[in-house]
Structure 1
């Protein structure tokens, strides 16, 4: 069964169609490329907006912790910590210098980067990745495992998923 609904059709959709639509949306939000892209725009202490599921409104918050699939923010109004998926966060993107740009155009993000696969990497290649503390790391692949590559980064050993690795092009 293929789901063909427009926004105006949603109120008339069956529960099964809405459930199927929610599954599709969950799959898109869980895409590692989207998570990596969202994480790359966040840092500790950053001022952000988040969608509050309880009242359906955007709220101001500050980033206090960044994890693999979730970010913890401190709500500015209540002071409480809230753990959220990355999709709930809105990061204010600085407006460009062009006076004709609208706020909507300035806040649009580029498409998610391509996800690396095991076949894309070889022992001896120099690669980069963003670690769990959002620090940019560069290392040399010393071993290819089933789901990760073992890297040497300044004397430290790191096991990194292929989807997080980026090739370095010497210029």
Structure 2
């Protein structure tokens, strides 16, 4: 499924149409046949990948308990316990990246918590930082021990592997 095309269509829908669509999708996902099909492939103690919609990223987790409508897991990276819906589990290894065609910068669906991205600060200095939180219109970045709120439109991918954790990028060489 091409999520970029789906997002384009969704952006043209009204809020009411989106609400109706979400209700319909939720009803389909809650049908016992979907839950049973996924549950049949899971076992307590199994390591799975699930999609965390808040972080917009895939996470590794260990299954602790299979419940009627949800799965109790412990996230491998943080050791936090979560109840997640069966449908959030990525059994087939599907690509979870949603790539938007943004006019400039990066879109909310193109970044994830923990990624390192760059931006130009107010003095037009190149900065980079690790994404700590995804907000509606901005990201919260950890840059050199400080928190920055930066618009998605101002973000870019980091190509220089030496620029990390809030350090200013090295000056560009003249050729």
**Could you state the TM-score of these two structures normalised by the residue count of structure 1?**
0.49
Please give the TM-score of this superposition, normalised by the length of structure 2.
0.48
